[in-house]
Amino acid sequence: MISPPFIVFSAFADIFLTFSEGAEYDIKHKFMAFFDSLFRDIGIDLGTANSLIYVKGQGVIVNEPSVAAMNTKTNRILAVGDEAKKMLGRTPSHINVVRPLVNGVISDYEMTEEMLRHLLSRGKSNSFSSYRRAILAIPDNLTEVERKSVEDAALGAGCSKVYLVESPVAAALGAGLPIAVPEANLIVDIGGGTTDIAVISMGGTVVSRTLKIAGDHFNDDITRFLRDEFQLAVGEATAEYTKIAVGSAIPLDERLEIPVRGRDMATGLPREVIIKNTHARVALSKSLRSIADAIHETIEATPPELAGDVLRHGIVLCGGGALLRGFGDLIERETGVPVTIAHDPLTCVVRGLGQMIDDFESHRELLDNPLRPLSVAL
């Protein structure tokens, strides 16, 4: 393995040799390229269900569940991301598998910091490199204390300077919406912990709503339905699989059904039942109605001129919840506004963060000022 001092020596030797040979050479550009290779800028979509990281010059390097597993006997992190998610509901008592974010808010600060540190380490080309600047996406309705905890977690994980941006703004940018113009763009981001609804104009949020009804709540709805209707107890992973496999917001032409296995609540023994898309639709109907009502209320609160823009431009859905079958058709039927689903809705937010990272100065006005100064002198 090449040592960090050798990397630094090689870089400076290259600069010296090029300069000494008398070639036309921009020494400042060379130094900046060298520092950019050591101190990278990143965008972090720290979601309740999944965490995505964009590194300038590399693209999206991390897209994994926001789950961490820790051995309480040794107080060490065993796994993060996909490996930790496989352990949910399957571990002995001394292995604690947690999701450190709930409804878009950090519920376990130490585990969040450790999880971030492990995920960030995957984007480092060597042990000497670090992250100079980070942009994190957060829900609209966070308090100052909650916003500060997100910033501190990123700083503790190894970022030198942290900026925050509202998730709907980043999602709209990632979806390709013209957010800088004086026209309304209505974005609905259905994530794992929250659903963010926002009317964006001139690079800012005009009207917004944040619901704690999203992907995780859909899983809870299915778990509750199976318990009440079939007397079957299932875990979080099974409920999520059922939602993805047969979940729908409206009646479908095709018939979908899957076997679901769990524990019979009467006998305590394993049992299998067949779940159809009609069952999943009934289970999810109340939550979907709440989201549709919140979108309706957001449009009602929108200034008249911008409301006309919403009707002309339509509603854009993104986030994992946008992939639910027929969800866009349901919203369009309830609001009378055309609905489109963004390209690759799962990565809209992190792609928006990537645009901010790649052209930082042009998007600086979209960001909140960091509370701490830059600790790396450039």
What pLDDT shows up at residue 16?
46
3-state SS, residue 327: helix
CA 195 – CA 168 distance, rounded (Å) = 10
- Which CATH code is given to the segment(s) 39-170+348-366? 3.30.420.40
Domain boundaries, the chain: 39-170+348-366, 182-213+287-345, 222-284
| CATH architecture of the domain with range 182-213+287-345 | 2-Layer Sandwich (3.30)
Q: What are the average pLDDT values for consecutive 10-residue runs of the chain, which has 378 residues?
A: 44 46 49 54 90 89 91 90 89 91 87 89 60 86 87 87 91 91 92 92 90 94 96 94 95 92 94 95 95 94 90 93 94 93 93 92 77 39
- Which CATH code is given to the segment(s) 222-284? 3.90.640.10
Residue 203: name the closest of 187, 174, 180 by CA.
Answer: 180
What pLDDT shows up at residue 158?
83
**Identical topology for domains 39-170+348-366 and 222-284:** no
The type of residue at 361 is E
- Assigned token pair, 284: 């999810």
CB 159 within 8 A of CB 373: no
Tell me how far CA of residue 153 lies from CA of 7, 62, 112, in angstroms: 29, 17, 7
φ, ψ of residue 162 to 5 degrees: the values are: -125, 130
